[in-house]
Amino acid sequence: MSTRILRPLEWAYPPRPVRREVRYARPDTDGSRPPVLFVPGFGHGAWIFTEHWLEHTAGRGFPAYALSLRGHGKSGSAPRTTLRSYAHDVVQVAASLPRQAVLVGHGAGALVVARALARYPARAAVLVAPVLGGVRMAFSVLAGNPAGTLPALFGAGLRPSRRQLFSRELPIRVGRGYASRLGRASTLAQWQLLAPGRLEDPVGNPPVLVVGSPQDRIVPLVALNRAARQYGGAPLLFPGMGHDLMLDARWPEPIDAILDWLDKG
C-alpha cells in the first residue's frame, strides 16, 4: 500500500485540455446502480462500445458511458501524448459523472485504467483483455503479427489484424468493417507499452476483475493470469473469443458476466 503524494512535476505541468468524445446510454429508471465508464484501448474509440455493450449495460440498469482517449475517435488530436494524459482523460470523465464510477478498460485501455485507479477511487474496476505492457507481451504480439507490429517500433501505428481481434464466428465482412475503423495511439504512448513502469496501487481499494479469452491472440492466457494475480484473483474466461470481446459474435456473454459481478459486489 504505497502512497505517492508528492507530485510537483504534475502540479507544474497539468496535461493540456482537449475536446473529449463521451457517449452514453441511460437506463429507463433511475436506480441505485453505479455508472459504468468504458475505456477503449489503443487505436479504438468509444464506438466499439456503442455497437453493443453500452445499450446492453443501460438495459440492465447501469448508467453507461464510453469515452475516446485523446487522439482517438472524435476526441481532439494529441500527437505527443503519453499514458499520463490518457489516464487524465479517464479521471476527468469519471469525476464528471454524478456518482462514483466503475471503470472498465479494454486492451491497452486497461493499462490506462490501471493508472487512473491510482488517481481516482473507483467503485470497482474491470480489466478486459488487458494489455499491461512489458517486453514479454511485446514479443508475443510481435510473433503473432510481425507485419502489424514491427513498423510500430519506428513510429508507425500498431496494426492488429482482423484474425487477432475477432473469432471465426464473426462474419468476415463485419470484422473487416471494424478493422477498417481502427486508428492509432501516439508513438510515445506505444513506446511506453514496452516499459510501462511499476503501477501505483489503486486508491480506495476497489475490487478488480480481469476478463479475457484464452484464444485472444494479443493477450495470451499467461498474461491474463498474471494480470489477475496482480489484483489478487483469477481471470474470468470466455473461450473461443477474439481480443475485441465487445465486438465479437458472442459479445453478450462477457458483459453479462461483468454486470453480474457488479451486481453481486
Binding site for another protein (CB under 8 A): 1-14, 17-18, 88, 91-92, 95-100, 119-121, 203-205
Q: How far is the CB of 230 from another protein (least distance, A)?
A: 16
Beta strands per DSSP E along the chain: 22-25, 36-39, 64-67, 102-106, 124-128, 208-212, 236-237
Select from 59, 44, 69, 57 the least CA-distant residue to 101. Answer: 57
- Write down the least CB distance from residue 1 to another protein, Å: 5
* Contacts for 177-180: CB closer than 8 Å, 24+ residues apart: 178/48, 178/244, 178/247
For another protein, give the closer residue by CB, 8 or 232.
Answer: 8
Q: Are 38 and 66 in contact (CB under 8 A)?
A: yes
Strand-pair partners of 67: 22
- Nearer to another protein by Cβ, of 99 and 136: the residue is 99
Residue whose CB is less far from another protein, 7 or 173: 7
Closer residue to another protein in complex, CB, 16/176: 16
Element (H, E) at 265: none
Instruction: Quote the least distance from Cβ 128 to another protein, whole Å.
Output: 23
Place of cell 459474435: 249
CB of 258 vs another protein, minimal distance in Å:
22
With 0-12 CB in 10 A as exposed, 13-18 as middle and 19+ as buried, what is 77? exposed
Q: CB 95 → another protein: shortest distance, Å?
A: 5
Measured from the CB atom, the residue of 89 and 244 that comes closer to another protein is: 89
